[in-house]
Amino acid sequence: MTSGGSGAHRRAYIDVARGVAVLLMIEAHTTDAWTRAASKHTVAFRDATILGGFAAPMFLWLAGVAVVLAAGRAEARTGSRAAAVDGICRRGLEIFILAFLFRLQAFIVSPGGHPVTIFRVDILNVMGPAIALAAVIWGCVATNAARVWLFSSATTIVAMASPIVRAAPWVDRLPTWLQWYVRPAGDYTTFTLFPWMAFVFAGGAVGAVVASARDARAESRVQAWLALAGAALVALGFVTAARPSIYAASSFWTSSPTWFAIRLGVMMVALAGLYATVRLTHVAPRAAPFARLGRSSLFIYWIHVELVYGYASWLWRGRLPLWGTALAFATFSTLMYGVLVLRDRLTGGLDESPRVRPSAGRRWYWRWRRPVRHARADVG
């Protein structure tokens, strides 16, 4: 498996980045669910919450990167841009449907909740439509340069409009279930399209830049420039956060474009760092567990949430000191990786080769989304 190079090869550092996002996701959920109330007022808990908060934007952003890389490969293979767009849109629809199946599973496995929770808006509800929109944006133009500008414009518009849209009176006239996708509605909304789908569009812009690199040397230059651009975004975010807001109503930690810019910049710098670590220092074999987690992140997401928040952990839920939660997080992450290895051994699942034949249990999925079979545009 190669960490760079042409679009014909799977980029291992992107899988590694997604694997890091998996660990951040588990950290966020275990810290939230298992830490006792007294420890939730400490600086350490605040910092752990901020760190875990990068999981969701990383998943969405890397999904946007994958959209462009997958669409480019599909177009090269089929000779049809429309077929590439169709394949990615189908994947977005699949993820949207999986969002409701995931909630239905949670409702059945942990009974007692209200049936309306099946329609709660979570990350998959946002990721699916955002991936489909990103595919349409990709298909509107024919060059990577044009796609960078188009995705960047879409990102800026969504991020800047988020505080305005959330406070807009016309949202009240939408059907209730649709309002949940636009502005927060208590327990019925974990994520909203504004600003979260902007991370997918931002990933599309980065993916178009990466796709323009035709060899390892060019990709190294691309990553260097992305790191510089990311650092500039972080600086811009901190500078603007220190100034009076231009919005009548805006929250730094939720709808603010400044926090959006900071998170996006941090992720761009982090991705460049992972690229350098995996490729330039030749640690790819040691990074393989992270890549394995990254390639199966949807599977880990699907099974771990119920284990963290469901009956399986009720004995220690909300009862651990922060250091105890940290130990439990490490143990649980190891367990999740062990489950993943066991699954792959039992089913003959994917190994480290980017083009290995899928397991029997996944062939239906592989055949259905054949136009984009060599790249993942989802949580995992």
Query: What is the arithmetic mean of pLDDT over 305-319?
Result: 92
Q: What per-residue confidence (pLDDT) applies to 214?
A: 86
Q: What per-residue confidence (pLDDT) applies to 370?
A: 35
Query: What is the arithmetic mean of pLDDT over 253-281?
Result: 92
Per-residue pLDDT tens digits for 59-100: 999 999 999 999 999 999 999 999 999 999 999 999 999 999
Q: Considering the chain, what is the average pLDDT of its residues?
A: 87
Q: What per-residue confidence (pLDDT) applies to 43?
A: 96
Query: What is the arithmetic mean of pLDDT over 262-266?
Result: 97
- Asked if residue 271 has pLDDT above 90, the reply is yes
- Asked if residue 368 has pLDDT above 80, the reply is no
- Percent of the chain at pLDDT > 90 equals 73
Residues 6 or more apart in contact with residue 350 via CB below 8 angstroms? 295, 344, 356, 358, 359
Residues 6 or more apart in contact with residue 338 via CB below 8 angstroms? none
- Asked if residue 349 has pLDDT above 80, the reply is no
CB 179 within 8 A of CB 166: no
More confident residue, 312 or 262: 262
Per-residue pLDDT tens digits for 122-144: 999 999 999 999 999 999 999 99
Per-residue pLDDT tens digits for 198-229: 999 999 999 999 999 988 899 999 999 999 99
Residues 6 or more apart in contact with residue 60 via CB below 8 angstroms? 123, 126, 127, 130, 196, 197, 199, 200, 203
- Asked if residue 188 has pLDDT above 50, the reply is yes
Q: What per-residue confidence (pLDDT) applies to 372?
A: 33
The residue extents of the domains of the chain are: 12-372
| Predicted TM-score of the model (pTM) | 0.88
- Asked if residue 7 has pLDDT above 70, the reply is no
Report CA 286 to chain centroid distance, whole Å: 23
Provide the residue type at 39 as one letter: S
